[in-house]
Structure 1
Amino acid sequence: MQAVAPAFVSLNGPDNVGKTTQLRLLAERRPHFQPLGAIHDHDPKPWARVVAGDYARWWFETSTTAELTEMLLVGHTKRAAAREAGRTGLLDRGLPMLLAVAAATCAVKDGLTVREALDTVTGIADPRTALSETSILLLPSIDPNRSYAITSAREGRPWTGVYPTYQRTLHAVLLLQADQGAYTAVVDCEDRTRDDVHAEVLARVGTYLSAPPLKDGNPR
């Protein structure tokens, strides 16, 4: 029986792990891959509104966990709707990663443990936002301290304020999700070239490269 391609393939991971590069390389492989970018591209008005003010303060202080999570998920739903029939949408951060972002923010802002924050955000999420999604998690390192050190060094300038704490927490959330099986595959990128990482990403989605995609993005 021929495998059926997922409606969506998402690349996930912390800042500076190489998601954008790997998505571009995937898009170059097959014409049926449709790059859909980030959620902000598909729901720009609310994001423009918060960016126009003190964005960091809104994100880490004044927004509620429910508000942030819902904004992320509305953008996610609108992005999914932009997928053309017969193509596989490529997502810069899929549903698991968006929940990780919200959970890391919740943990930092509300003083919860990583597990408590992830449970809180998962409880807010609408089950209808789930997609037929092959979600690949790219990690700079399996070790959380090494992972943070690698991504922060690649930033080119020091992270300040609450952001270092947020990034460390995000790495912890991603590892917890990986342990829980939230991602289709986890790729350890430490000490590997871009092409080596891409070869593994291809292997993870290779089953679907010549298969017909789903006709819609219905929940699993």
Structure 2
Amino acid sequence: MTRMPDFISLNGPDNAGKTTQLVRLAERWEGFQPLGAVHEHDPEPWARVTAGDYARWWFKTSTTVELTEMLLTGHAKRAAARRHGRTGLLDRGLPMLLAVATATCVVKDGLTTGEASKTVTGIAGSRAGAPETSLLLLPSLDAKRSYATTSAREGRHWAGIYPAYQKALHAVLLRQADHGAYTAVVDCESRTVDEVHAEVLDHVGLARTTAGSP
């Protein structure tokens, strides 16, 4: 058996299929430990900001430093929850969290993608998360088609600043992909869930296994 990594993260914009693929991965092998999202591991500050107008806090009153620090703190606590010998499954890993902070910085502070990326990278500093196999699921490698796909899957109209944020997020993710931030990029365009899952399994080293037996 090939040694599995300590962490596997599935990343991508809203409605890219992350949750579906995480559930299917967790069912594949008993050695996986689903660890979920960062707010589940650092609930107090997230409960505080969601108690009021969450969207206003996220896009108006929070600072890029505050948001980035909350994401990174939650990520560190989530990593610490992994049990020895298990492979943690992450709903959005470190590169995706930095992408979220960067896209928010773009729309909130009016910076370019490059400027916002430098800002967030500067806040993160030399802190490095535990090594992870990070897969980026993209509805399309074209930013406009990717956004169109995810917005259509939402089933309701995105209002206010959210469309601009989602477009910025798609641009940031593609920029990250170009710079090698992810272990692998999975192009989901015109592919079934099963086809995408087969590629995910291949990237994490489980392509030739049976369910429950790595």
TM normalised by structure 1 equals 0.92
Query: 1:123 matched to which residue of 2?
Result: 122
Distance 1:32 1:129 in 2: 24
Offset of residue 3 of structure 1:
4.6
Query: 2:79 matched to which residue of 1?
Result: 80
Distance 1:14 1:100 in 2: 10
Superposed CA RMSD in Å reads 1.5
Query: 1:172 matched to which residue of 2?
Result: 171
Query: 1:19 matched to which residue of 2?
Result: 18
Query: 1:44 matched to which residue of 2?
Result: 43
* Structure 1 residue 91 corresponds to structure 2 residue 85: no
When residues 118 and 206 of structure 1 are mapped into structure 2, their CA distance, relative to the original with a 3 A threshold, is: same
Structure 2 residues without counterparts, runs of 5 or longer: 210-214
How many residues end up aligned between the 2 structures? 209
Q: Secondary structure at the match of 1:53?
A: coil
Query: 1:156 matched to which residue of 2?
Result: 155
Overall identity of the aligned pairs, in %: 73
When residues 126 and 4 of structure 1 are mapped into structure 2, their CA distance, relative to the original with a 3 A threshold, is: farther
Contact map agreement 1:104 1:114 (CA 8 A) in 2: yes
Contact map agreement 1:139 1:147 (CA 8 A) in 2: yes
When residues 134 and 208 of structure 1 are mapped into structure 2, their CA distance, relative to the original with a 3 A threshold, is: farther
Contact map agreement 2:76 2:129 (CA 8 A) in 1: no
Offset of residue 107 of structure 1:
0.7
Q: Tell me which stretches of 4 or more aligned residues in structure 1 moved more than 2 Å.
A: 2-5, 126-129, 207-210
What letter matches 1:56 in structure 2?
A: A
Distance 2:57 2:207 in 1: 40
Offset of residue 34 of structure 1:
0.5
* Structure 1 residue 192 corresponds to structure 2 residue 211: no
Q: Secondary structure at the match of 1:127?
A: coil
What letter matches 2:173 in structure 1?
A: L
